[in-house]
Amino acid sequence: MSNIVAIVGRPNVGKSTLFNRLLERREAIVDSTAGVTRDRHYGKSDWNGVDFTVIDTGGYDVGTDDIFEEEIRKQVQLAVDEATSIIFMMNVEEGLTDTDQEIYRLLRRSNKLIYIVINKVDSSKEELPATEFYQLGIDKYYTLSSATGSGTGDLLDDIVKDF
Ligand code: GDP
Ligand code: MG
């Protein structure tokens, strides 16, 4: 069975930017099936010779944080059902929000491997503000700039190691 990595998080944190970066030079597989896969994009990627499928979630990406709790729950549940590993993305620009805390609460109920990623850490000056995410009660997070690609290597090293 192939390894499936889902990217989960509220709108505008940078999920699709990371998804597109992971799919660079690879052909995206856009699932046109109606129904539960409607809001999701699938693609193939690889790291250090290990192949995996990436899911970009977020049919609720409407550019605001005004999401129905039910819609978040649905997206998170779909990701948890389908994926072997979950990238939970937040961002340092907007900081830790109530929606982030709600999503993390839902994710923790699953037995899937969860990688907590703080995106938009474009330079070292954003490392210190990122420490506010320890408020989630976590031991470790990955800081990333999906825009430049910095940090993605460390994250992928760990993800493929855990497959
Ligand atoms: P999504 O809604 O979570 O899929 O977020 P998108 O990938 O669409 O990105 C939302 C916005 O954040 C876009 O304007 C991106 O260009 C921007 N963005 C994404 N990643 C980064 C990053 O690492 N740094 C900065 N500064 N902006 C980013
Ligand atoms: Mg998106």
What pLDDT is stored for residue 35 in this prediction? 37
Best residue for ligand 1 mutational test, from 39, 118, 142, 146 (most atoms within 8 Å of Cβ): 146
What is the homologous superfamily of the domain 4-162 according to CATH?
P-loop containing nucleotide triphosphate hydrolases (3.40.50.300)
Residue 32 structure tokens: 């046109």
Q: How far is the CA of 15 from the centre of ligand 2 (A)?
A: 5
Annotated binding residue 44: no
Annotated binding residue 9: yes
> Could you read off the pLDDT of 9-37 as tens digits, one per residue?
988 899 989 998 998 755 544 444 433 34
> Could you read off the pLDDT of 51-67 as tens digits, one per residue?
999 998 875 544 555 55
Pocket of ligand 1 (CB under 6 A): 9, 11-17, 58, 61, 119-120, 122, 145-147
> Could you read off the pLDDT of 74-109 as tens digits, one per residue?
888 888 899 999 999 999 999 999 989 989 999 999
What pLDDT is stored for residue 87 in this prediction? 97
d(CA 34, CA 26): 24
The average pLDDT across 138-155 equals: 97
Please state the domain extents for the chain.
4-162
> Could you read off the pLDDT of 105-126 as tens digits, one per residue?
999 999 899 999 999 999 999 9
Residues with Cβ within 8 Å of residue 136, at least 6 apart in sequence: 96, 100, 101, 104, 116
Percent of the chain with pLDDT over 70: 83
pLDDT over 90 (residue 39): no
Which residue has the least CA distance to atom 15 on ligand 1?
A: 14
As for the ipTM of the complex, it is 0.99
- Atom of ligand 1 at shortest range from CA of 17: 7
CA atoms within 13 A on the CB side of 25: 2
Q: How far is the CA of 1 from the centre of ligand 1 (A)?
A: 31
